[in-house]
Structure 1
Amino acid sequence: MAHLDTQPPADETGQVVRLLELLAADAPLSEVAAVDAPSPARELALRIAGAREVHQHREAGLAALLDTARELAAASDPGSVLEAITRRARRLVGTDLAYLTLYDPEAGDTFMRATDGSVSAAFQSVRLALGAGLGGLVASTHKPYWTADYWSDERFRHTSAIDGAVGEEGIIAICGTPLLVESHFVGVLFAANRSSRPFTREEVALLGNLATLAAVTLVQTRALADAEHAHETVRQYADGVEKAAAAHDRFASLVLGGGGVDDLTAGLAELLGGWAVLTDETGARQSGAGPAPEPRPGRRSRGADPVGAFDSLPELATGRLVEHGGVYAVAVTAARERLGTLYVGGVGALSDSEQRTVERAGLVTALVLLFERQAADARQSARNRLVSDLVTRRGSREERLSLARTTGFDPQQPFSLLVLRGDDTAGQRALLISASAATGENALVGSHDGDVVALVPAAHPGPEPRSTSSAPAAAAPSGAAGTDLASDPDALARSVAARIGKRTCVTVAGVGPVSDVDAIEVAHDEAARTVGALIALGHRGQGAAATQLGFAGLIVGSDPDVDDYVRKLLGPLADYDERRGTDLLGTLTAYFAAGGSPRHAAGTLHVHVNTVSQRLERIGALLGESWQSPDHALELQIALRLRALQAPA
């Protein structure tokens, strides 16, 4: 028989090679899209090129922000800072002009302070009342607003003074974002265009990051200018100013050098000569340096940690430094969101300049955490798309295998699949973070259809014996010493539910082991049905596999093992009958059919009632004392019925 030629045509191979050459050369997306290659290869190349352009754009934005930080750090007075801010804003967003208004607390409005690209004198001297125009709305709400056509946008209260100045400047599209330092409003930063221009969310976020950096720098520059004018005060606190300058240089160099929160806490502890600890928004320690008090072993609550004992004090909400029992604390916030708390201790009484150093450290820490969160969110978004592709079998098998392996997860090796469903009050982002921590760094965790899905690789091939104990498994991730939970989906589900349940209620269903990328869809469907069954059966907040749900597991399972179910329940009686030649199974069937009456069962079996009683005692000895409880009896009756249906006609 002649062999069929399965090789692709030479021209298709050449187009695929062309795609690879373009990707290797970092060609733009438009060039990759112009190649007429086979559909799967072209689609994958477009996804890779598109993802690369997104990352390049994000990296360019972060690099521009770092360049801005360097330029702002070199500015010596508030005027040069404002000019640098508007110049950078216009360049980063790519608009016709940029401008900045500052808040006047005495007049209760904002006034134009710096512009770049403006040609109208009336526009450069305009004042905006709170709530008037786009800028007034940003100033009154402390939230960003943007519009592609200011004149037709009815969200803003138009006034003759503002509209006249905007019209003279020829502005059509405007984006404004507030300058906030903690909860204090400083002003508004704008980017505007003289033609209709929609603003993307990435551009709004970039302008917001610049505004955050600008606000912090502006306040610092103002403070420095005030200090320079107060010559006598500077002389009295020369040592404090020197420490503050050293702290500023230290923090700036750490951030510009790519340092993280560990470097910031270490630098703060070194500057002040004590210890520093950073906790996250839940009160758990995230970083620490120096001889800080250790948390009490075996407990994770805030009250068990002497460092975070006053994490919930209302004074922290002011954004100022709080002292309690010789420990100083400042809330780490960004965009009015609490990201954590920075603690300092072992330093005695802090001077004013040292207190400002701690507060400055809190601001810088917030900026670093914000950047880290944005990067983590981008990575998680890619994982969410990959998990969704895997559980829906979207794309070719080769594409799914390749994309999964780029994350370090091999879907051709044994793993268990978990579906985690939290309460409506549980945040999806928090549940994703908790699931990643509970399943280990080797797991692939993402969201799909409102649930969190975790693919947890086994430490070695082949399933472990399935646990039948009802006690919760040890709360350890995959690969823990003494057991491989990922090979036992029931134990893994119970372990993950127990770990995350310390913070929030989550129901977990496990399926596995699975060892093929095409089997993920079926495994996910079974796990989703199982988690729904757990909640419907009143087991919210617990974990289990479908095989551990008794007869309910037969309903939700994609491949119900009826033989195993019947054997598990009736095996002791069947073995006894086979060894002794008795008919305990028939007696049990007659007993249930008679409504639990030994006398009526004896009539059906044509034996004495005492014989039935003796057999029932033997059944109790073999099945356990709970065999007549409602739940156990129901399972036994279902097993007897299934056994009868399995019998040949």
Structure 2
Amino acid sequence: MLTGEGLPGEVSLGRYALAMLELLAREAPAEHFEELARQAAEAGAAGEELARLVAAKDRSLEVRQLFARRQQREAGLSALVDTARDLTHSYNLDTLLAVITRRARLLMGLDMSWVSLPGEDGASLVRASDGHASAITVGFQVPFGGGVGELAQNRSAPFWTPDYLRDDSFVRNEAIDHVVRSEGLRAIMAVPLRHEHSGLGVLYVADRNVRHFLPNEISLMTSLADLAAVAIERTRLLERTRTEVAELTGDVSDAMDSSATVRKLSGIHRELIELALGGGELTTLVDRASAALGGALLVRDTIGKDLARTEDFPGPEDFPDTAAEAGGAGSRRVSDRASGRVSGRTEDFPLASPLDRICLDAHAAGGPVRCDDGAGGVLSACPVTGGTESLGTLVLRATRPPCEAQEELLGLVAQAVAVQLLMQRSTAVAEGHVRDELLHDLLHVSQLPPGQLAARGRRLAVDLTEPHVIVVVRPEGGSQSRANAWASSYAHRLSGLKYVDGGHIVLLLPGNDPAGAARSVQRELSTVLGHPVTGGAAGPTTAPDDIRRVYQEAQRCLDALTALGGTGGTASPRELGFLGLLLSEQQDVGQFVASAVGPVLDYDHQQSTELLRTLEAYFVSGSSPTRAAELLHVHPNTVSRRLERITDLLGPHWQEPAQALEVQLALRLHRTRHLLAGTDDS
């Protein structure tokens, strides 16, 4: 702490500010910061100077809280990693359940935890508990009807209450109420234990104080439940194997083979989980799993985009293209310029190949499915899920159908892939606050030096001196929090930045094609939300201080698209035609002219023809070839042949109202540019 010596002023306030930084570096208690501000006031600091020091104190406390939250998240992830490693060991079921309940209680820092599994008669029995318990003991039968456990099982999702006996939002059971009252419990959370599409039981945690569970705590419990469910199923498999070995004493060889297979599955599963939790690359995990399964592997996300594949997995061209064989088009452009509606979007129709079908079938079935690939191989697919969320699909391609052990291993590999994808998402979310602040400054704080912004970008692996585009999207429904989480993951995956501005999501993405970037964002986010997404895009730019202008241009494109009735589509200045020219702050007349009549200009230059003059005369004469021929002093057949050539160059719709308007505007701009330059190309 500082003493109050010296007169208040810039020098003394600077000493107090430095002292606050020292407190921040030492992770001092919050009251020390308050004491420092009080000392400054007693030393004579007042007015604006004291206000600045108090503001510095508040920012320091905010940074301290940010560090504390990060340490808490890191501690939670570290505890989850340790738990996952514990669960990979071989236990009997009762020992495993004891490990799970102890880890759950320690992970959440609560008073009690227990796990219930269905018994032989269908009744739910407490198989293990941890913490001081007098009523909830091993063998306690959980009554049917009511309670948080039944809700969690019915919803296949965690359910919690901050104060069980005072919560009327669900149906309670008197027998359960009596037990809760006897234990003195208040806050309770129930998480279903599910493996593939079957329910295994319920994991509970509880505290004797009123407590509101945070989203990251619910996420940790969901991840723990997923790992616990796999471990329980694996342990049951081990126990069934041991039972079979004991019963099949007459066939020692088969029993040994079965035991070896189980040990192999357990070892591979443990290795893959440790690889995922250790921060390894998804491609490394897929290569290791491919060697164990004896086939080629592919991981796809929920919209059909390849996330990782082994080198020997066939490409799209190696699978039969049912839609192409039937003469169907893979995609078509939608643009209704005649009515003034400009959507600028592409409707992609998925090709009905065996690979596409089996990915859809796997999620529809909620478990592994198998089919022939039409090229001499067999495809096996398993959905990749994290809790109740679909993360993608794992596809195995082999020369023959997989055996039972391979199918079991395929499911275990899918769980390891899910852990890997969730870990990647957690990393993106952890860095999201810092990345969001950078894009906020790029968009709103214009006085920051470009060099400083570029340096901040490099620290986040974002090179702002390379070409980037801006995409502004507006979800037309769905969960805003889910859209924001997806945007953070998407921007992190592409080495870009994300910022949420009201109901809009702003993405700064590397590349030169704003229209293509907008369509990719729209396609993925629409699939995630299950609702349409409208987007505007602009760029590219290579200057940090130019990003604000590009953002405003993209926002105007989004506003124009909305005004034109193009909700659910995307647009950039180039796709909006002459509207894009008007909306852009840096009007590129040459680019607009080239997009409208560029092929005609090039043809005249290369062939020394007069198609441009013919086009001008045609519009001047009211679209009459005969009158145009009179103006040009040529035969009408000559004009007709030139118009046919123009149709070949500009496309069959150049005379339709919307495109004809752009052609005429381009002709006028081209002529005006040459007149202003003192030349005449006629």
Question: What is the SS of the residue equivalent to 1:327?
Answer: strand
> Compared with structure 1, are the counterparts of its residues 263 and 170 closer, same or farther at alpha carbon in structure 2 (3 Å cutoff)?
same
User: What secondary structure does 1:140 align onto?
Assistant: helix
Secondary structure of the structure 1 residue equivalent to 2:572: strand
Q: 1:46-93: per-residue Cα shift (whole Å, max 9, x none)?
A: 555444333322221121112222333335211111111111111111
Cα distance in 2 between the residues matched to 1:315 and 1:445:
30
Displacement of 1:408: 3.5
CA separation in 2, counterparts of 1:223 and 1:563? Answer: 70
SS of the residue 1:155 aligns to: coil
Q: In structure 1, what is the equivalent of residue 381 of structure 2?
A: 329
Correspondence 1:394-543 to 2 at 5 A? 403-409=456-462, 413=465, 416-421=468-473, 424=476, 428=483, 432=487, 436=491, 441-456=494-509, 478=511, 485=512, 492-497=513-518, 507-511=535-539, 513=541, 515-517=543-545, 520-537=547-564, 541=569, 543=571
Counterpart for residue 243 of structure 1? 261
**Contact 2:592/2:666 (<8 A) preserved:** no
- Between stretches 97-106 and 63-72, larger displacement belongs to 97-106
Residues 70 and 523 (structure 1), Cα distance of their counterparts in 2 relative to 1, 3 Å cut? closer
State the 1:30 CA deviation: 7.2
The alpha-carbon distance between structure 1 residues 277 and 101, as it changes in their structure 2 partners (threshold 3 A), is same
1:367 aligns with 2:413: no
Relative to structure 1, is the Cα distance of residues 315 and 450 closer, same or farther in structure 2, using a 3 angstrom cutoff? closer
Q: Distance in 2 between matches of 1:246 and 1:122?
A: 37
Provide closer, same or farther for how the CA distance between residues 286 and 495 of structure 1 changes in structure 2, counting only shifts above 3 A.
closer
Out of 242, 245, 270, the position equivalent to 1:252 is: 270
Contact in 1 for aligned 2:541/2:547 (Cα 8 Å): no
Identify the residue that residue 339 of structure 2 maps to in structure 1: none
In structure 2, C-alpha distance between the alignment counterparts of 1:139 and 1:502, rounded to whole Å: 33
C-alpha contact (below 8 Å) 1:275/1:344 kept by paired residues: yes
The answer to whether the 8 A contact 1:86-1:114 is kept is yes
Q: Distance in 2 between matches of 1:76 and 1:434?
A: 36
One-letter identity of the residue aligned with 1:407: L
Q: For residues 116-162 of structure 1, what are the alpha-carbon distances to aligned partners after superposition, in whole Å with 9 as ceiling and x for unaligned? A: 12332366654334441222322332221222211210012223211
Identify if the C-alpha distance between structure 1 residues 80 and 34 changes in structure 2 by more than 3 Å, giving closer, same or farther.
Answer: farther
Q: Give the one of 139, 144, 166 matched to 2:158.
A: 144
2:394 touches 2:414 (CA, 8 Å); kept in 1? yes
2:362/2:382 contact within 8 Å kept:
no
Would the aligned equivalents of 1:138 and 1:178 in 2 still touch at CA under 8 Å?
Answer: yes
Deviation, structure 1 residue 514: 6.7
Q: CA deviation at 1:170?
A: 0.9
Tell me if the contact between 2:195 and 2:229 (Cα under 8 Å) persists in the aligned partners. Answer: yes
Q: How does 1:176-255 map to 2 (within 5 A)?
A: 176-230=190-244, 231-233=246-248, 235=252, 236-255=254-273
Q: What are the Cα deviations for residues 548-584 of structure 1, in whole angstroms up to 9, with x where unaligned?
A: 8566347544577999999x99xxxxxxxxxxxxxxx
Kindly provide the amino acid, as one letter, of the partner of residue 169 in structure 1. E
State the alpha-carbon separation in 2 of the partners of residues 400 and 216 from structure 1.
46
CA distance in 2, matches of 1:563, 1:74: 68
Offset of residue 326 of structure 1: 2.9
Question: Are positions 1:94 and 2:92 aligned together?
Answer: no
* Alignment match, 2:178: 164
Q: 1:244 to 1:35 in 2, by over 3 A?
A: farther
Contact 2:272/2:413 (8 A) holds in 1? no
What is the CA–CA distance in structure 2 between the aligned matches of 1:362 and 1:229, rounded to whole Å?
A: 27
Q: Is the 1:418–1:454 Cα contact (8 Å) retained in structure 2? A: yes
Identity of aligned residues (%): 27
The residue number in structure 2 matching 1:392 is: 444
User: Where does residue 575 of structure 1 map in the other structure?
Assistant: none
* 1:319 partner amino acid: G
Aligned to 1:313, which of 361, 364, 370?
361
What amino acid is the match of 1:159?
N
Which one scores higher on RCO, CA 8 angstroms, separation ≥ 6?
2
Give 1:9's aligned residue. 10
Q: What SS does the corresponding residue of 2:395 show, helix, strand or coil?
A: strand
1:112 aligns with 2:165: no
Taking structure 1 as reference, are residues 78 and 297 closer, same or farther at Cα in structure 2, changes over 3 Å only?
A: closer
Distance 2:458 2:31 in 1: 27
Measured in 2, the distance between the counterparts of 1:633 and 1:326 equals 54
**Amino acid of the structure 1 residue aligned with 2:15:** G
Q: Of the candidates 261, 267, 272, which is equivalent to residue 288 of structure 2?
A: 267
Structure 2: stretches of 5+ with no match in the other structure: 1-8, 38-51, 322-329, 331-348, 527-532, 597-615, 637-641, 677-682
Distance 1:542 1:62, change over 3 A: closer
Residues 333-352 of structure 1 mapped to structure 2, 5 A cutoff: 333-346=385-398, 348-352=400-404
User: How far, CA to CA, are the matches of 1:596 and 1:75 in structure 2?
Assistant: 84
Alignment of 1:76 onto 2:91: yes
Give the Cα–Cα distance (whole angstroms) in 1 for the partners of residues 10 and 484 of structure 2: 47
Instruction: Give the secondary structure class of the aligned counterpart of 1:197.
Output: coil
Which residue type is aligned with residue 322 of structure 1?
R
Aligned length: 577
Matches of 1:441 and 1:371, distance apart in 2:
17
SS of 1:74's partner is coil
After TM superposition, give the deviation of residue 191 of structure 1 in Å: 1.6
**1:355 is paired with a residue of what secondary structure?**
helix
Give distance in 1, aligned partners of 2:419 and 2:591: 57
| CA distance in 1 between partners of 2:66 and 2:114 (Å) | 33
Partner of 1:85: 100
Match 2:78 to one of 44, 54, 63: 63
In 1, are the aligned partners of 2:143 and 2:175 still within 8 Å (CA)?
Answer: no
Cα pair 2:371 2:379 within 8 Å, conserved: yes
Q: Distance in 2 between matches of 1:148 and 1:423?
A: 32
- Per-residue deviation, residues 16-47 of structure 1 (Å, max 9, x unmatched): 44454455556677767876584776566555
**C-alpha RMSD of matched pairs (Å):** 5.1
Structure 2 CA distance for partners of 1:161 and 1:123, relative to 1, 3 Å: farther
CA contact (8 A) 1:443 1:456 kept: yes
